[in-house]
Structure 1
Amino acid sequence: MGQDIFYRIEELKKKLHGDLKYDPVTRVIYSTDASVYKEKPLCVVWPRNKEDIKEVLRFAAAERIGVIPRAGGTSLAGQVVGNGIILDVSRYMNRIIEIDTERKTARVEPGVILDHLNIYLKKYGLFFGPETSTANRCNIGGMVGNNACGLHSLIYGSTRDHTIEIKAILSDASEAVFGPVDRETFTRKCGLETLEGRIYRNIRDILSDNKNRETIYNEYPDRKVPRRNTGYALDLLLDSEIFNENSGNKFNFCKLLAGSEGTLAVITEICLNLVP
């Protein structure tokens, strides 16, 4: 990748409503998180909306460059460090969109800080259960990516347990909404001639394969262990009424997105379960 890439980055910058920087200071600042890992990114983008995210993903695909979603940057294992384009949602995509007190849900953008959300919820007698030691600076999007737990995880569980629905942008810059689906909806999704449809067909084929099912049942961590963030949670998708007729759980791709560290999609909106 030569220096001419920065000329094309300038063209990308003109298309964005948000900010884009690639000066040496910015790249050094974003070369690390709360860990000891360090790798200088190509540039940093602060999107204002989902259209900015789509532009970045289209550019990245054309240039064959990686995209690293980033929120509060409190990761302890270099999860938001990389040599591609850093997509920082914390600056602009930080609105609390809606609170539904009857359903006890909150709809937020990924850049909302956990403490800010809970302070806002206090007047409703509600809060978001998972609590991290970095609550005054970590973002909800990062909590989903990391499947954050916290001090009282045995009581409130992890972020995955409270993630109801996710709106996201896929790698081809198409939009998708992931939430609980019944068998009829799952079948309909599998029939879509889109990347979302391919994703549903792919998971159907993977989890319908008896060898894969046996491997997941035998090799995944014990389901009784509540704090287990290793790998993608395929076992939780397998334990749904789509693949297990004895399960009372709806199939929900949010189970997979939580803990995926931004590798599967770029989150633009999250619907969370709240507790009194």
Structure 2
Amino acid sequence: MSRRLVRDPEPEDFAGLDIRRLRAELTARVDGEVRFDAGSRGAYATDASNYRQVPIGVVVPHTVTAAVEAVAVCREQGAPVLSRGGGTSLAGQCTNVAVVIDWTKYCHRLVSVDPAARTCVVEPGITLDALNSQLAEHGLKFGPRPATHSHCAIGGMIGNNSCGASAQAYGKTVDNVRALDVLTYRGTRMWVGPTDERRYQEILAAGGEPARLHRGARELVEEYADDIRAGFPHVPRRVSGYNLDSLLPENGFDLARALVGSESTLVTVLRAELDLVPVEAADALLVLGYPDICAAADDVPRLLAHCAPLQLEAMDGRMAQLMREEHVHADSLALLPEGDAWLFVQLGGESRADADERARRLLADLGLSEADRRVALSDDPAREQEFLQAREAGLGVASRPPDGRETWEGWEDSAVAPERLGDYLRDLKRLFAEFGYDHPSLYGHVGQGCMHTRIPFALRDAQGVAEFRRFLFRAADLVVSYGGSLSGEHGDGQSRGELLVRMFGERLVGAFAEFKTLFDPDNRMNPGKIVSPGPDREPHPVDGQLRLGPLWRP
């Protein structure tokens, strides 16, 4: 297969873009809101990350068909495109100099549900809580549940390959996507999913762009199969990079799952068929105390050897301190057992009594009892939810500590194998100390080896930004030395795109670039994020397009 690499657009590439004509064509042809005013563009210039890029304009389509027309207009005018959900992205993947398509206001239908097959079809703008609320009458739900479940959109979860605490039991979003209705920048619309040999030959026989794309993906994975098998970390929370492993024959040559986590850099997702799981009949929550977060992480493999939890979360004493200082979740904090770090183990059961018995059995297996001061076993469902909500509050609590310091993303979701987590955290804390980053809280999804933190990077002056960049490269080398992943659930975007070569090596990053070229040869889908399609180019740097930076003026 001949593969022509494309390049990142330069400012001069947009010199010929007629913004007035683009706006006029969108207004005339798209059934929806077309916003090119400064206020709207400013509102969409940031996500939950460190980055800021002012979009060309914003389209809020009334229907999926209208969104297809918006992409067609952008293609005719040569304008980049970026799909956006709830804007909760933490790696800068939802900010770009592009026409932003916001799906959440109108394109949020639950199209269909098949309770027997435990599947549903949705539009990308539906939020997770809204979806699960509508599925509740069937006793079903979508399994992955990020902490932002009240306002993150399913389309964004697909773009980001989101996870959350419940991924302990149900896997990442990629593990729960059955098929996708996608649109390429050049206008090809098709459903993609697992493709056996018979279906593959049918697609080739039909010809056209779907045949070219499937053939190109097959040829790419055949060329890089051994590299993928050897070079992709074997950890529960590998979210970094494109999911080329989903194209391997042993994984069903699944093009839908290969596109999950591509952050609007390859295609526009129009609808999704999702796998669903039953709502648990009952659950119990066990909280265990430890002297520090590293000791808590050390105990994770022992717990996993004795149970299959719905969630296995952790929180350190620093976060508890911040909650006390900010006067939030005080009742839950008062019930924490003795310790300066805690594991939250949620176990499911056929009934309340069954779930409680499983928790007590786990305690016995661990050589503990309810009388131990390091143990808290809740028999109150409302109280259990308060405990879990306290853990979910980590990002907000740690972002703006009462002492006035600002903390930032950038290295907030690295992941290693659970059995190596304790040692990794010790080395990470030593790295914090080396750079003078004191008191970062540590919390997260320890059952899958994924840890969150917020770090007091000094992003308002040149020296601080230089140290931020140097730290990220050191941290990337550290997690790779443990066989881990740069990202365990927040994706690459701009925060980690430049670092991917340190995790995957030049050859696999080259494969990512070829996959990008296959689906987006014009490089107009969220350009500069994750990977840049060219041998002499790199994605936007980790310290570029910062919302603050040394030139920031309030």
TM-score for the superposition, normalised by structure 1: 0.91
Retained in 2: the 8 A contact 1:192–1:198? no
Shift in Å, 1:154? 1.9
| Larger helix share, 1 or 2 | 2
**Is 1:46 the counterpart of 2:48 in the alignment?**
no
Aligned-residue CA RMSD (Å):
1.5
User: What letter is aligned with 1:232?
Assistant: Y
Choose which of 222, 235, 245 in structure 2 pairs with 1:235.
245
Which amino acid in structure 1 is aligned with residue 188 of structure 2?
Answer: S
Counterpart in 1 of 2:355?
none
Shift of 1:188: 2.2
Deviation sequence 1:8-58 (CA, Å, 0-9, x none): 321221101111110000000000111121010000001222332232222
Amino acid across the alignment from 1:152:
S
Give runs of aligned pairs for residues 94-109 of structure 1, distance below 5 A: 94-109=108-123
Are the counterparts in 1 of residues 18 and 77 from structure 2 also a CA contact under 8 Å? no
Answer yes or no: is the 8 Å Cα contact 2:182–2:270 preserved in 1. yes
Structure 1: any 5+ residue segments left out of the alignment? Answer: 241-246
Q: Tell me how many residue pairs correspond in the alignment.
A: 264
Residue type of the alignment partner of 1:181: T
Task: Tell me what 1:86 maps to.
Answer: 100
Equivalent in the alignment of 1:244: none
**Superposition pairs of residues 242-261 of structure 1, within 5 angstroms:** 247=250, 249-261=251-263
Within the alignment, does 1:27 sit opposite 2:37 as a pair?
no
Q: Given residue 94 of structure 1, which amino acid in structure 2 is its aligned partner? A: H
Aligned to 1:115: 129
CA distance in 2, matches of 1:79, 1:230: 13
Instruction: Note if 1:157 corresponds to 2:159.
Output: no
Quickly say closer, same or farther: Cα 1:8–1:68, change in 2 above 3 A.
closer
Task: Give 1:70-81 correspondences, 5 Å limit.
Answer: 70-81=84-95
Whole-Å separation in 2 of the counterparts to 1:18 and 1:145: 22
SS of residue paired to 2:131: helix
Question: Quick one: distance in 2 between partners of 1:171 and 1:147?
Answer: 21
Distance 1:151 1:124 in 2: 23
- Kept after mapping to 2: 8 A contact 1:55/1:173: no
Whether the 8 Å CA contact 2:118–2:275 is kept in 1: the answer is yes
Give the partner amino acid of 2:247: L
TM-score, normalised on structure 2? 0.46
Correspondence for 2:231 among 219, 239, 250: 219
Partner-residue secondary structure (3-state), 1:181? coil
Structure 1 equivalent of residue 211 of structure 2? 197
Counterpart among 23, 30, 39 of residue 16 in structure 1: 30
* Partner SS, residue 269 of structure 1: strand
Letter in 1 for 2:276: L
What do residues 145-173 of structure 1 show as CA deviations (whole Å, max 9, x unaligned)? 11111012121101110100111112222
User: Which shifted more, 68-77 or 53-62?
Assistant: 53-62
Q: Is 1:139 the counterpart of 2:139 in the alignment?
A: no
User: In 1, distance between residues paired with 2:145 and 2:215?
Assistant: 35
TM-aligned CA deviation for residue 71 of structure 1: 0.9
Is 21-30 or 200-209 further displaced after alignment?
Answer: 200-209
Amino acid at match of 1:274: L
Partner amino acid, structure 2, of 1:267: V
Cα 1:69–1:38 change in 2 (3 A) is: same
**What's the secondary structure of 2:68's corresponding residue?**
helix
For 2:45, the aligned partner's letter is S
Contact 1:53–1:169 (CA under 8 A) maintained in structure 2? no
The match for 1:264 is 266
**Percent identity of equivalent pairs:** 35
